[in-house]
Chain A
């Protein structure tokens, strides 16, 4: 199936007086219809910049310096070839927003207008994209709350009158107002406590099944993605280090960074083991240095790592006769399945 969102070779910089901060560097990422892709990385890794840059929501001094973001949603392309979001005019972007690609922001308290009632904010999303007579629009807005399991008498509430979990659900409901093909979720559960997190995630999964949209789920919590995502992409210092199915990543993480991430949270089953963080901190993105940005923190770095070109290469054996079937890709050249199995890597 051809992807609904195809990000290729995307680079985004922040142009400051001190030089260009390379927030996203030549990233390739695809999203297929109905798929959940998890984008994982620590803060400052560029994951949010990637998502907002692709949808052109970043403010100055951000600048997209290379790449394409091809979108294939039927409504926009009418069956023709994909359109490049980066080449769109203001007007075309306007049409694309929310109807094709919607966003659930990280902190609902900050992302909802404090002086407008929930009903008005939902109505805004509805009337901006759907030509409905007034009472139908209101009914649609109310039905959105039904979708996420919030009582209709919350329509007249203000954001500060709702609990954190409720606000996040309102955000999700709002994102679905125009029936988008792609929903980008930027750390939607980070600010919530664990129990509420569970509920929201379950809700998201259920909605996705029902309404059939693709999700780009951004988070720093790899453990979440292992359960939720179909495919996972790991980002560090603006670059993709590894992509693969959730199964791949969980069973055989390739890149040392991914291994470090997996080691940093406990699992319910399996032997007890010592938790380890990853010592050190991310590089200065103005001048990350040649080769792999993870070198300073990597236990297994060798000289050759500085010459790596950071393109993703298949890891593991392909199905015989079909070289393109390897879904697990990594940018780390020194890791091979044999090395991993020999247990050299911890």
Chain B
């Protein structure tokens, strides 16, 4: 249990760093972001200007740096990110709240599928090191080197436009249905999610496979696998319960670390598909100099990844008895 607590403490430190970065970056930038925003959007109310100043610093900010920081921290903890600039006066949190579920579901499901399939293939490839599955890796690695969005473009072109198999763009068919918990919407949403999900899976599967295969090869060389074979256990038992169970641990750790990359790629890909997720929101925010939104999204993404990492830590503790023991013994 204390393992989890230590990890939690670590994530809190990381979150604090992210928040602090968020606070200082606009203040460290050359030029005056606040002025440029005000110049671009003359219709802002004074309270909006105040919250903007709090977020970005600059000449309009009241109070010392420290007091601004403290107030800022308070705002973050209460999820008060202020009103949006480009779509004034919609609060930032509302906009994020609309976009986040799309990204979470798409990226979450696709990543998990990709991890499972890739890891399983990696187990088989490592077991039959040198076999046909193993030798198909370079081809898959090529797929992985292709930028997410490029593959997205190709898939859109081939499957969407040329073959008309799948819909292109948007999260659902706005003309025929509207959001809500009914089949027409869910069906449409799923249809629209297939291409983006396919992109994510295709580009990341090789990575998981290669990683697992390498760990499997090392694990198979361990004495306990030889011992398991000497015991005359079935191949299935040896591969899964003796080799793969142990190889899974470094794989899970790698998963935690790779989450950041996965999410990053998915964000960019959302533009190509005009998928109404948080990536599209972020990039629109950037092009319209919508700083409060940009900062809020960065924080939300970071927090989401930290939480996901914590969940993975739970899974690791579940699978590795040594971790549990190491901490108990302290």
Given contacts A97-B232, A129-B232, A158-B321, contact A105 B227 (CB under 8 A): yes
Contact yes or no, B224 A97, CB < 8 A: no
Known: A57-B229, A98-B231, A114-B224. A161 touches B245 (CB 8 A): no
In the assembled complex, A68 has its CB within 8 A of some CB on chain B: no
Contact with A along B205-236 (1 / 0, CB 8 A): 00000000000000001111011111111100
B102-123 interface (Cβ within 8 A of A): none
- In angstroms, Cα B249 to Cα A115, docked, is 10
Q: Given the complex, which residues of A lie within 8 Å of B43, measured CB to CB?
A: none
A299 contacts B by Cβ under 8 Å:
no
- Complex interface: chain A residues within 8 A of B226 (CB): 57, 59, 105, 111
Does B237 count as interface, using CB distance less than 8 angstroms?
yes
Interface string of A105-146 (1 = CB under 8 A from B): 111001111111000000011001100000000000000000
Q: Is B322 an interface residue (CB 8 A)?
A: yes
Residues of B within 8 A of A102 (CB): 230-231
> Is B191 an interface residue when CB atoms closer than 8 A count as contact?
no
Asked if B241 is at the interface of the complex by the 8 Å CB criterion, the answer is yes
Q: Indicate with 1 or 0, residue by residue over A55-94, a CB within 8 angstroms of chain B CB atoms.
A: 1010100000000000000000000000000000000001
Bound complex: CA A107 to CA B229 (Å):
16
- Smallest Cβ-Cβ distance to A98: which chain B residue: B232
In the complex, which range does the number of interface residues on chain B fall in?
20 to 34
Query: Which residues between 5 and 44 of chain B lie within 8 Å of chain A, taking CB atoms?
Result: none
B233 CB, min distance to chain A CBs, angstroms: 5
A115–B245 touching, CB < 8 Å: yes
- Chain B residues, Cβ within 8 Å of A97: 229-232
Answer yes or no: B320 CB below 8 A from chain A CBs: yes
Contacts known (A107-B223, A110-B223, A160-B325); A125 close to B246, Cβ less than 8 A: no
Question: In this assembly, does A99 line the interface, its C-beta being within 8 Å of a C-beta of chain B?
Answer: yes
Residues from 142 to 201 in A contacting B, C-beta threshold 8 Å: 158, 160-161, 174
Report if B148 contacts A (CB, 8 A): no
B318 CB to nearest chain A CB (Å): 11
Q: Chain B residues with Cβ under 8 A from A124's Cβ? A: 228, 231, 233, 237, 241
Q: Assess the B227–A112 pair: CB atoms within 8 A.
A: yes
B54 to chain A, nearest CB (A): 51
Q: What 0/1 readout, one digit per residue, does chain B (142-164) give for beta carbons within 8 Å of chain A? A: 00000000000000000000000
Q: Is B127 among interface residues, defined by CB-CB distance under 8 A?
A: no
Assuming the contacts A113-B246, A124-B237, asked whether A158 and B228 have C-beta atoms less than 8 A apart, the reply is: no
Q: In the assembled complex, which residues on chain A have CB atoms less than 8 Å from the CB atom of B233?
A: 124, 128
User: Which one, A55, A110, A113, contacts B230 given CB within 8 A?
Assistant: A55
Q: In the complex, A59 Cα to B245 Cα: how many Å?
A: 21
Whether, in the assembled complex, B81 has its beta carbon less than 8 Å from a beta carbon of chain A, the answer is no
* Bound complex: CA A158 to CA B321 (Å): 7
Q: Is B319 an interface residue (CB 8 A)?
A: yes
* Separation of A160 and B321 alpha carbons in the complex (Å): 9
Whether B319 lies near A111 (C-beta < 8 A) is: no
By the criterion CB–CB under 8 Å, are B231 and A174 in contact?
A: yes
Query: How many Å lie between the Cα of A113 and that of B245 in the bound state?
Result: 9
The answer to the question of A240 belonging to the interface, with a C-beta cut-off of 8 Å to chain B, is no
Could you tell me if A103 and B230 are in contact, using CB atoms closer than 8 angstroms? yes
Query: Which residues of chain B are near A125, meaning CB under 8 Å?
Result: 231
> Among the interface residues A59, A113, A129, A160, which one has the most CB atoms of the partner chain B within 10 A?
A113
Q: A59 to chain B: which residues have CB within 8 Å? A: 221, 226
Q: Indicate whether B273 reaches chain A with its CB closer than 8 angstroms.
A: no
Contact with A158, one of B224, B319, B322 (Cβ below 8 angstroms): B322
B291 adjacent to chain A (CB < 8 Å):
no
Please measure, in the bound complex, the distance between the C-alpha atom of A114 and the C-alpha atom of B242, giving whole angstroms: 9
Asked, given contacts A158-B322, A161-B325, whether A113 binds B224 with beta carbons under 8 Å apart, the answer is: yes
> Which of B223, B230, B241, B325 touches A116 (beta carbons < 8 Å)?
B241
B322 adjacent to A160 (CB under 8 Å): yes
Q: Is the CB of A111 within 8 A of B227?
A: yes
Contact A105–B325 (Cβ < 8 Å): no
Given A160-B322, A161-B325: A113 and B242 interface contact (C-beta under 8 Å)? yes
| A59 to B226 Cα, complex, angstroms | 9
Q: Which residues of A contact B241 (CB under 8 A)?
A: 113, 116, 124
Residues of A within 8 A of B320 (CB): 115
A99 touches B224 (CB 8 A): no
Known contacts A158-B321, A158-B325, A161-B325; A112 and B231 CB within 8 A of each other: no
Q: Pick 29 A–B contacts, CB within 8 A, sort by A.
A: A55-B230, A57-B229, A57-B230, A59-B221, A95-B232, A97-B229, A97-B230, A98-B231, A103-B230, A106-B223, A107-B223, A110-B222, A111-B224, A111-B227, A113-B228, A113-B241, A113-B242, A113-B245, A113-B246, A114-B322, A115-B246, A116-B242, A124-B233, A128-B232, A128-B233, A128-B234, A128-B237, A158-B321, A158-B322
Using CB atoms and an 8 Å cutoff, list the residues of chain A in contact with chain B: 55, 57, 59, 94-99, 102-103, 105-107, 110-116, 124-125, 128-129, 158, 160-161, 174
Q: A107-B223, A116-B241 are in contact. List 16 more A-B contacts (CB 8 A).
A: A55-B230, A95-B232, A96-B232, A97-B232, A110-B223, A111-B226, A113-B242, A114-B224, A114-B322, A116-B245, A128-B231, A129-B232, A158-B321, A158-B325, A160-B322, A174-B231
Cβ-closest 3 pairs across A and B = A97-B232, A110-B223, A111-B227
